[in-house]
Amino acid sequence: MYSFDSKIRPQWLLYGSFIWISGSSAAPFSSDQVVLTAEDGAGAVASENMECSRIGRDLLRLGGNAIDAMVGTQLCVGVTSMYHSGIGGGGFALVRTADGEYETIDFRETAPAAATQDMYNDDVHASIEGGLAVGVPSELRGLEYMHEKWGDLAWESVVMPASHLAREGFSVTADMVRYMVAGMKDAGRDFLIDEPSWAEVFAPNGTLLGEGDTMYRTRLADTLTTVAKKGASAFYTGDLAASFVKTVRDAGGIMTLEDLTAYRAEIREPLSTTFRNHTLYTTGAPASGAITLNMLKTMEQYPLPPTPATNLTMHRYNEAMRFAYGARSLLGDPDFVGGLGPYEASLLDNATAAHTRARILDNETQPVGRYAPHALFVPDTHGTSHVVTADSAGRAVSLTSTVNLLFGALLVDPRTGVVLNNEMNDFSIPGVRNAFGFEPSPANFIRPGKRSLSSITPVIVEAPDGALRAVVGAAGGSRIVSATAQVLWHVLEHGMTMTEAVAEPRLHDQLMPNEVWLEYTFNNETAASLAEKGHRVKWVREGLSAVQGITVLGSGKFEAASEPRQKNSGGLTA
User: Does residue 477 have a known ligand-binding role?
Assistant: yes
User: Does residue 217 have a known ligand-binding role?
Assistant: no
User: Does residue 104 have a known ligand-binding role?
Assistant: no
- pTM of the full structure: 0.92
Distance of CA 160 to the CA centre of its chain: 22
User: Does residue 403 have a known ligand-binding role?
Assistant: yes
For range 365-375, the mean pLDDT? 86
Alpha-carbon dihedral of residues 237, 240, 243, 244, nearest 10 degrees? -90
Percent of the chain with pLDDT over 90: 84
Closest CA to 374 of 263, 247, 512, 267: 512
**pLDDT value at position 33?**
23
Binned at pLDDT 50, 70 and 90, residue 384 comes out as confident
CA angle, corner 31, sides to 29 and 34, nearest 5? Answer: 95
Supply the DSSP symbol for 428: B
- List the domains of the chain with CATH numbers: 12-108+132-267+385-427 (no CATH), 268-382+453-573 (3.60.20.40)
- pLDDT digits 0-9 by tens, 148-178: 999 999 999 999 999 999 999 999 999 999 9
User: Does residue 163 have a known ligand-binding role?
Assistant: no
Residue 435, pLDDT > 80, answer no
Euclidean distance between CA atoms 443 and 280, whole angstroms: 26
Closest CA to 475 of 458, 499, 492: 458
* Buried/exposed code over 274-299 (b: 16+ C-beta within 10 A; e: otherwise): bbeebbbbbbbbbbbbbbbbbbbbbb
User: Does residue 369 have a known ligand-binding role?
Assistant: no
Lowest average pLDDT, out of 23-32, 394-403, 527-536, goes to: 23-32
Is residue 517 within 8 Å of residue 538, measured between CB atoms? yes
Whether 384 is a known active-site residue: answer yes
Catalytic residue among 104, 273, 381, 384: 384
User: Does residue 569 have a known ligand-binding role?
Assistant: no
514 three-state secondary structure: coil
